């Protein structure tokens, strides 16, 4: 049995719990977890705000720690290695998406790290608010000893969620990238886009965010609470990463794109958002979405972060404070990611 923190229902606080991790097989890696990041999606799922929640639920898909056991067939890891497990613990591995290293789009349904099942569609998956995780080697990631371990945990969700669109739309030197919203996702988008040589502009409703945005790597800062901003920056950006999950007007931001520019949705507002055809037609602009990244791309991100000394800005707290963290996150009272210290479990 493994100690954990779990939601027993959508209306009760998370409490101490024990989960029965599966017995490791020949291709499995056992990781003693040191830290786990807290993602806003953890709250949505623990409170069944997206529907389909399975209880008891142990949230957490930003897990990092140390390998303590490997199966006989494991080749990439040895005991003592630093390792991480992100949003997925397996996929079918045979569909066209998986064959292209796009396991996040597995056409047979990936096995997510919690609130789901293993690929047998029977064994429940439990996440990283726990002392240990067992996962197949193919879905375990190497974490460089160069990286601060607590700060590297959110790279497995917030990091890859912003890295994947930057890579897919080939962001790089000479390109102008706008980032909408400076939170858990937004602060990683700024850091990563800047590290690729992009000229980054933070688009925010709060003037208090400017100093932090520039510290993180933004060359420019613009207030979207001022109508003049949308006129001044019209047609400015090659790529916009929209990290906002609150309702807002996509059409206004589409107008900030250059001809052939793309705005990528990373946040999930609670209701559908109207999009005017002319907002796209006028400049052959594109509105797209992106979901985390595949395993190879996530490893690429971790290696890039090690080479450029990039981690998330985190507030490390004992796992026993997870319920307070949830309430503070709802109030945007964190810079910029909570990470649970699992040593206190």
pLDDT of residue 253: 98
Architecture (CATH level 2) of domain 159-289: 3-Layer(aba) Sandwich (3.40)
Sequence spans of domains, the chain: 2-157+311-344, 159-289
Please count the helices (runs of H) and the strands (runs of E) in the chain.
Answer: 11, 19
What is the DSSP code (8-state) at residue 22?
P
pLDDT of residue 174: 94
Q: What is the DSSP string of 103-168?
A: GGG-TT--EESSSEE-TTSSSEE--SSBSEEEEEGGG-EE--TTS-HHHHGGGGTHHHHHHHHHHH
Cβ–Cβ under 8 Å, residues 325 and 60: no
Query: What is the pLDDT tens value at each position of the chain, 345 positions in all?
Result: 999 999 999 999 999 999 999 999 999 999 999 999 999 999 999 999 999 999 999 999 999 999 999 999 999 999 999 999 999 999 999 999 999 999 999 999 999 999 999 999 999 999 999 999 999 999 999 999 999 999 999 999 999 999 999 999 999 999 999 999 999 999 999 999 999 999 999 999 999 999 999 999 999 999 999 999 999 999 999 999 999 999 999 999 999 999 999 999 999 998 999 999 999 999 999 999 999 999 999 999 999 999 999 999 999 999 999 999 999 999 999 999 999 999 999
As a whole number of angstroms, the distance between CA 263 and CA 239 comes to: 6
pLDDT of residue 240: 99
315 is written with which tokens? 């507030």
pTM of the model: 0.97
Query: Comparing C-alpha atoms, which of 305, 326, 3 is closest to residue 159?
Result: 305
pLDDT of residue 40: 94
Q: Which CATH class is domain 2-157+311-344?
A: alpha beta
């Amino acid at each position: 049995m493994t100690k954990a923190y779990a939601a027993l229902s959508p209306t009760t606080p998370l409490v101490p719990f024990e989960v029965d991790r599966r017995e490791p097989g020949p291709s499995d890696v056992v990781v003693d977890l040191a830290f786990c990041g807290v993602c806003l999606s953890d709250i949505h799922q623990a409170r069944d705000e997206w529907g389909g929640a399975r209880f008891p639920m142990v949230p957490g898909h930003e897990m990092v720690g140390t390998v303590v056991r490997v199966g006989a067939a494991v080749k990439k890891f040895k005991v003592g290695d630093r390792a991480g497990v992100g949003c997925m613990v397996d996929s079918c591995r045979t569909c066209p998406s998986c064959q292209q290293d796009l396991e996040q789009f597995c056409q047979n349904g990936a096995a997510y790290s919690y609130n789901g099942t293993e690929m047998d569609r029977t064994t429940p998956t439990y996440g990283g608010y726990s002392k240990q995780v067992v996962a197949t080697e193919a879905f375990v990631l190497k974490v460089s000893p160069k990286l601060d371990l607590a700060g590297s945990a959110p790279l497995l969700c917030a990091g890859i969620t912003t890295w994947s669109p930057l890579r897919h739309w080939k962001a790089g030197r000479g390109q102008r990238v706008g980032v909408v919203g400076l939170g858990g996702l937004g602060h990683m988008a700024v850091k990563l886009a800047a590290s690729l040589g992009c000229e980054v502009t933070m688009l925010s409703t709060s003037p208090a965010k400017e100093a932090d945005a520039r510290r993180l790597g933004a060359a420019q800062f613009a207030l979207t609470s001022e109508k003049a901003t949308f006129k001044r920056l019209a047609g400015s950006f090659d790529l916009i990463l929209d990290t906002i999950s609150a309702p807002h007007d996509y059409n206004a931001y589409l107008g900030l794109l250059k001809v052939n520019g793309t705005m990528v949705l990373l946040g999930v507002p609670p209701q559908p958002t109207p999009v005017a055809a002319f907002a796209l037609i006028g400049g052959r602009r594109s509105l797209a979405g992106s979901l985390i990244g595949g395993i190879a791309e996530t490893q690429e991100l971790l290696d890039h972060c090690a080479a450029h000394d990039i981690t998330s800005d985190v507030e490390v707290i004992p796992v026993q404070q997870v319920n307070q963290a949830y309430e503070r996150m709802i109030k945007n009272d964190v810079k910029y990611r909570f990470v649970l210290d699992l040593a206190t479990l």
